């Protein structure tokens, strides 16, 4: 009888998925469904229904374990739903409504099943649905945690690493360079006459200038390099596996950007100029302010 029930669920997967949508639209339980077309509303629900049916006759811990294909699909479903504007509560509610629809379908056939089979169906359906719910919740928290971690390390205005995070990554990179015999170039930058922009045009114009400069700096870096906002109108970048001229070349590229804000810069190179991150910054800082004084003379 379990095989017949599973076959019936699979054969009716589409209509069961549509019934789940109707449940979600009823009393506006899933408001985000209203914004989608029919295929968008269905999402992965028909596939999940087929997997639930399969689990009735082929229960396997492997299918429900962390990292399984079913778990990965549930996480992808949660991410796609979130991208479509679904709140976490809606993503979980959708699966709970699916449970209600499936159990209503099973109840209509309960007379054909023995008591033990009904209990077995309930347990197996719940086991699979519980895994789907768990993976959807985990997918949301994984993304939220990653986003919080990124926000904790990045400057809110420019999206570059903030001062402390930049220093931590530079220290780690200098240690790696020491182990493998690579060079690291550090460039320290300061916007020229930035205070005048704030004083004459206002802080919003100053913020736009900072964001624009940060974008130009980011565009001049390789994926392996890092840029940071060190505070105010001061920026820095480090270049990995770099020779002694890499910092100068970055400055030339940045200065050649269309509409680039005027800036002064100082460079330092590991291991030619200094042997640790703090010393690199001191050298680059001294050279930056020498350049600043020279441009003001």
Catalytic residue ranges? 233
Indicate left, alpha or beta for 181 from its phi (over 0: left) and psi (-120 to 50: alpha). left
Distance between CA atoms of residues 95 and 97, nearest Å: 5
The dihedral of CA 248, 278, 164, 222: what is its sign? positive
Distance between CA atoms of residues 296 and 210, nearest Å: 21
Q: What DSSP state is assigned to residue 233?
A: T
DSSP characters for 134-177?
HHHHHHHHHHHHHHHHHHHHB-TTT-SEEHHHHHHHHHHHHHHH
Contacts of 80 (CB under 8 A, 6+ apart): 43, 44
User: Are 234 and 188 in contact, with CB atoms under 8 Å apart?
Assistant: yes
Distance between CA atoms of residues 144 and 75, nearest Å: 13
């Amino acid at each position: 009888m379990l095989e017949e029930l599973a076959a019936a669920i699979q054969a009716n997967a589409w209509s069961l998925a549509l019934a789940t949508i109707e449940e979600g639209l009823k009393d506006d339980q899933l408001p985000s469904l209203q914004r989608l077309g029919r295929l968008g509303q269905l999402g992965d629900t028909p596939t999940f229904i087929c997997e639930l049916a399969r689990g009735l006759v082929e229960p396997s811990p492997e299918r429900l374990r962390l990292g399984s294909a079913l778990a990965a699909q549930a996480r992808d479903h949660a991410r796609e739903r979130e991208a479509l504007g679904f709140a976490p509560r809606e993503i979980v509610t959708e699966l709970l409504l699916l449970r209600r629809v499936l159990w209503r379908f099973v109840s209509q056939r309960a007379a054909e099943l023995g008591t033990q089979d009904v209990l077995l169906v309930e347990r197996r359906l719940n086991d699979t649905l519980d895994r789907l719910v768990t993976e959807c919740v985990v997918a949301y928290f994984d993304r939220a945690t990653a986003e919080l971690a990124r926000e904790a390390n990045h400057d809110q205005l420019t999206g570059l690493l903030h001062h402390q995070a930049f220093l931590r990554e530079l220290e780690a990179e200098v240690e790696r360079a020491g182990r493998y015999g690579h060079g690291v170039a550090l460039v320290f930058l300061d916007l020229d006459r930035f205070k005048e922009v704030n004083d004459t045009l206002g802080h919003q114009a100053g913020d736009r200038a900072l964001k624009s400069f940060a974008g130009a700096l980011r565009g001049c870096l390789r994926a392996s390099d890092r840029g940071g906002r060190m505070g105010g109108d001061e920026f820095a970048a480090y270049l990995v596996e770099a020779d002694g001229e890499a910092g100068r070349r970055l400055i030339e590229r940045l200065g050649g950007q269309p509409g680039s804000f005027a800036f002064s810069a100082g460079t330092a190179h590991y291991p030619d100029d200094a042997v640790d991150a703090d010393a690199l910054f001191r050298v680059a800082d001294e050279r930056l302010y020498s350049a600043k004084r020279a441009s003001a003379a």
